Amino acid sequence: MIHRRQRRQVLIAGFLGVIAVVNLLFYFILLRPAQSDYFNLQGSIDQLRSEIKVSTNTVNRLKKTSAQLERFDQDRQGLFNTHFIKFDPGFAELSPRLEQLAVQSGVLRPIVEFTRDEIKQYGLYSVKIKIPVQGTYSNAVNFIKTLETADTFFLITSIEVKSNDGEGATGAKAAGAVALSLDLETFFYK
């Protein structure tokens, strides 16, 4: 009986040993792929974290750009209202403005010629102006400076200067008087 019992114990111990070896082999067989997958996932997680940082920076930059674009229309409208003339009253406003600038600088301004482009570019209609002025040299320079610093945007495209030793505003000979023919450009908006 003892012998049978020992044999049975040895057989059970052998069976348990075989099971333990098989379990140990399965552990090592499954451990290597699991470790490989774990390290691959760790690398992927690190890569995704860096991509999230880049994406967050991109989103923040795009939000800032979006805010700037939202303000763009307001800034554009403010620029138009401040420096350009509305299309509808256009010429009715432009002529008095030029007259006022001429009076401020002390030059005589005869009739002004206007031409407006009918094609809109960048939301603006170009208006070409030909304006002859007469006065002393310093008044003519003041007129040009007044045009450059006016609230309304005027581009001086050409200046033709002539000596004007004829009669001045008072009917007497005006020594040193000049006559300017200015080609200007301004813009109307709708």
Q: For 140-187, how does the pLDDT look when each residue is reduced to its tens digit (9 = 90+)?
A: 888 888 888 888 878 888 888 877 655 444 444 456 788 888 888 888
Instruction: State how many domains the chain has.
Output: 2
Cα–Cα distances in Å, from 38 out to 45, 113, 125, 185?
10, 82, 67, 71
Same domain, 142 and 106: yes
Same domain, 23 and 110: no
Q: For 103-136, how does the pLDDT look when each residue is reduced to its tens digit (9 = 90+)?
A: 888 888 767 787 777 767 777 878 888 888 888 8
What is the residue-wise DSSP string for 113-145? EEEE-SS-BTTEEEEEEEEEEEEEHHHHHHHHH
Query: Which strand (E) or helix (H) includes residue 155?
Result: strand 155-163
Domain of 91, in residue numbers: 85-189
